């Protein structure tokens, strides 16, 4: 019956480690200011359009040929 205890403790340790990783990633994500996020998104858009991708409006319609 002792191996059940070891297995349970290993499971608890795994859950705790996962929580630590998630918390660390969340802190890193929240460290950006809104201006930094905006600049990063614009840079990614410029990079994508330079590679041949076409920007699509937020409402999902194509830029030309469709009425609102």
pLDDT digits (tens, 9 = 90+) for 41-63: 999 988 888 877 776 666 766 55
Compute the distance between CA of residue 57 and CA of residue 61 in angstroms, rounded to an integer: 6
Compute the distance between CA of residue 58 and CA of residue 21 in angstroms, rounded to an integer: 32
Compute the distance between CA of residue 65 and CA of residue 68 in angstroms, rounded to an integer: 10
Contacting residues for 56 by C-beta, under 8 A, at least 6 apart: 62, 63
For the ranges 12-21, 25-34, 35-44, 51-60, the lowest mean pLDDT is seen at: 51-60
Query: pTM for this one?
Result: 0.39
pLDDT at 60: 60
DSSP code of 31?
T
CB 63 within 8 Å of CB 57:
yes
């Amino acid at each position: 019956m002792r191996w059940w205890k070891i297995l349970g403790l290993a499971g608890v340790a795994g859950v705790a480690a996962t929580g630590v990783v998630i918390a660390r990633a969340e802190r890193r994500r929240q460290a950006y200011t809104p201006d930094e996020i905006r600049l990063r998104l614009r840079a990614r858009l410029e990079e994508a359009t330079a590679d041949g991708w076409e920007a699509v409006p937020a409402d999902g319609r194509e830029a030309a040929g469709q009425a609102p």
